């Protein structure tokens, strides 16, 4: 495939050429009106020449609006692109094609794909993009808008299959908890796929993420169970740390000396009080510690 780079088309102000065309028509009209019978052949030739030159010049005019570009080809050869808004003139009889430079929002369809754990999920993304190279967009692909849509969906499918929907492990990235990182990787993948089209990706971000309806309820219960387990683990770790701190503090200050049985009883009571879901009701011992 020939890699075509954008270049500027030769162009001049259309107003100057318009004045030239008007002058040619005026001269031709004057010749036809004022020509004398003796030199009618020369007058006719001059008038026809002026009209012919003016007629051949007119197809070179073109108008561009802001954030528009025009791609020009002449006898099958790319001769350049125009980006500046206004009224201009270039080589007549060029084939031309307008390309919008405005920013597009591509909202992908909700697609069903298996995540890294094999769970079916529904996912969709929004891709913000615009054309930066009109030559690549016009000649490297058949339909650059359709190409952007298909390649964006392909990149989204590939990304979703490499990450789990959710994870309670801090070191493992997931689609739900690492939204910014996933968005950056999605943008990177889409940019690589669309490099040939001369398209720049402004932003790529997930806009829909959910389990498929057939497993949504089951996975919701699983998420709740995993969340409870993770919370319990954190509570137990904190309670063990507090008990250890309490025992060490008692030993250092010498407030009371506990044997192994009393330490075990104290650890049991403290863990029950700290880990229990319900508020613990202490029993106050008004006697000695050993009765």
Report pLDDT digits (tens) over 55-76.
999 999 999 999 999 999 998 8
pLDDT in tens, 172-192: 888 888 889 999 999 999 999
Domains in the chain, number: 3
Same domain assignment for residues 118 and 206: yes
Task: Kindly list the distances between the CA atom of residue 239 and the CA atoms of 5, 220, 268, 276, in Å, as whole numbers in the listed order.
Answer: 66, 28, 11, 10
Does residue 284 lie in a domain region? no
51's CB contacts (< 8 A; 6+ apart) are 24, 25, 28
DSSP 8: B
What is the band of 42 on the pLDDT scale with cuts at 50, 70, 90? confident
CATH number at residue 192: 3.30.479.30
Mean pLDDT of 117-137: 93
Does residue 182 lie in a domain region? yes
Does residue 287 lie in a domain region? no
Model confidence at 286: pLDDT above 60: no
Model confidence at 40: pLDDT above 60: no
Model confidence at 102: pLDDT above 80: yes
What is the pLDDT, as a whole number, of residue 85? 94
Which residue among 211, 237, 253 closes a domain?
211
Instruction: State the residue range of the domain holding 109.
Output: 104-211
Which residue among 100, 132, 148 closes a domain?
100
Same domain assignment for residues 94 and 110: no
Compute, in degrees rounded to 10, the torsion defined by CA atoms 260, 265, 269, 275. 60
Same domain assignment for residues 114 and 143: yes
Which residue among 52, 72, 100 closes a domain?
100
What is the pLDDT, as a whole number, of residue 243? 76
Task: Find, among 20, 4, 24, 22, the residue nearest to 12 by Cα.
Answer: 20
233's CB contacts (< 8 A; 6+ apart) are none
pLDDT in tens, 247-280: 777 777 766 666 677 667 777 766 666 666 666 6
């Amino acid at each position: 495939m020939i890699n075509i780079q954008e270049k500027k088309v030769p162009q001049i102000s259309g107003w100057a050429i318009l004045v030239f065309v008007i002058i040619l028509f005026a001269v031709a009209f004057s010749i036809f009106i004022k020509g004398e019978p003796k030199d009618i052949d020369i007058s006719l030739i001059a008038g026809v020449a002026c009209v012919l030159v003016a007629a051949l010049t007119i197809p070179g005019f073109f108008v561009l609006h802001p954030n528009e570009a025009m791609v020009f080809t002449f006898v099958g050869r790319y001769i350049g692109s125009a980006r500046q808004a206004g009224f201009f003139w270039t080589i007549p009889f060029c084939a031309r094609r307008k390309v919008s430079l405005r920013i597009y929002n591509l909202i992908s369809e909700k697609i069903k794909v298996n995540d890294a754990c094999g769970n079916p999920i529904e996912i969709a993304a929004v891709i913000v993009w615009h054309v930066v190279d009109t030559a690549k967009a016009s000649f490297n692909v058949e339909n650059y808008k359709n190409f952007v849509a298909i390649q964006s969906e392909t990149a989204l499918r590939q990304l979703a299959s490499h990450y789990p929907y959710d994870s309670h492990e801090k070191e493992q990235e997931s689609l739900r908890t690492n939204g910014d990182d996933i968005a950056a990787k999605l943008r990177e993948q889409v940019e690589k796929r669309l490099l040939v089209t001369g398209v720049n990706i402004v932003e790529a971000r997930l806009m829909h993420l959910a389990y498929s309806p057939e497993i949504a309820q089951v996975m919701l219960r699983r998420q709740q169970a995993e969340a409870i387990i993770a919370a319990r683990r954190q509570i137990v770790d904190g309670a063990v740390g507090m008990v250890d701190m309490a025992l060490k503090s008692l030993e250092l200050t010498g407030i009371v000396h506990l044997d192994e049985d009393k330490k075990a009883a104290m650890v049991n009571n403290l863990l029950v009080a700290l880990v229990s879901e319900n508020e613990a009701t202490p029993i106050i011992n008004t006697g000695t510690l050993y009765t």
